[in-house]
Amino acid sequence: MKKILATMLVLTLLFTFCAFAEEVPAINWSDVESAAASIEGSWYVFNDIALQHWMPSIFENKALTEEDGEDMLAKFETADGAAGIYVQYLQGNEGATMDETISTLEANGAMDIERCTLNGLDAVSFSVPDVDAVYVVFITESGNYVQFIFAPASDEGFSQLSQLIIASVMPETED
């Protein structure tokens, strides 16, 4: 338990640094990997977009339905449905820069906008007023925009676990 709390403190400091740094800070999986080692989980790979991430075993990989829409790549939920992580491919952003994306987010009322480089990927996290979720948008090495949605953001334990998952998103590696 002390190990998890210490790691959560490190993650909080890393993400706080992300918010206040003048330069875009870098966060890497190697910075938090030891915390995830104490939590059962596995890696998920999105071959079509050359991206992978770690997911704790308490989340089930749910089958996608027509209602999820064409943009939904995956959805992970707890057995009781109390928490979920949704992954979307955002189309129509070819050639857009992260600065342009941030300007669009600001113009559309997004709040708590924080930019970072996560495992070499340009990323921005944000919230939307009146939506209990945190959004993280990545530009992959292939130029795709991928969005992770973590809900509910108001659950402190889930929020801390989400930070580990966010820190794990990276380009697909060749094994």
pLDDT tens readout for residues 38-71: 999 999 998 888 889 999 999 999 999 999 999 9
For the chain, the domain total comes to: 1
Residue 4 has pLDDT above 50, yes or no: no
Residue 8 has pLDDT above 60, yes or no: no
Distant-in-sequence, close-in-space partners of 21: CB < 8 Å, separation ≥ 6: none
CATH number at residue 119: 3.40.1000.10
Which residue range(s) make up the domain with 158?
A: 2-171
Per-residue pLDDT reduced to its tens digit, 127-172 = 998 999 999 998 876 677 899 999 999 999 899 899 999 999 998 8
The separation between the first and the last C-alpha atoms of the chain, rounded to the nearest angstrom, is 32
Backbone region of residue 128 per phi and psi (left: phi > 0; alpha: psi in -120 to 50; beta: other values):
beta
